[in-house]
Amino acid sequence: MPDMNDILKMAQQAQQDLAKAQGELDNIEVEGVAGGGLVKIKTTAKGRIVGISIDDSLMSVDEKGMLEDLIAAAFNDAKGKADQAAADLMKRAMPAGFPVPGQAGSPF
């Protein structure tokens, strides 16, 4: 088990790595899709929407309700992918062996 000095050094390194990873989140782009590709929303892992694509076939007043539903579904798909990309990046940023509070063997 690491001593407190080792844990403090690991914590400082983890803080630096996490700050760097946070900065990278806006560079990771994911695409949410709905309606078999009729509506696509591109977003960053930080949640910033960078683009929306709507198939021309949905551009009619009769399709307004379906279009609204598809936009919401595509956004939720993109948000889920962005959240997963962010979680994966944060996980990679944590140093191996860093004690996580609540885990067995953790001094916290």
- At 67-86, the pLDDT tens digits run 999 999 999 999 999 999 88
Residue 31 pairs in a beta bridge with 42
Q: What was the pLDDT predicted at 95? A: 66
Architecture of the 29-93 domain: 2-Layer Sandwich (3.30)
* Measured distance CA(45)–CA(55) in Å, rounded: 24
- At 4-30, the pLDDT tens digits run 888 888 888 878 887 887 888 888 899
What secondary structure does DSSP assign to the chain, as a single string? ---HHHHHHHHHHHHHHHHHHHHHGGG-EEEEEEGGGTEEEEEETTS-EEEEEE-GGG-SGGGHHHHHHHHHHHHHHHHHHHHHHHHHHHHHHSPTTPPPTTSTT---
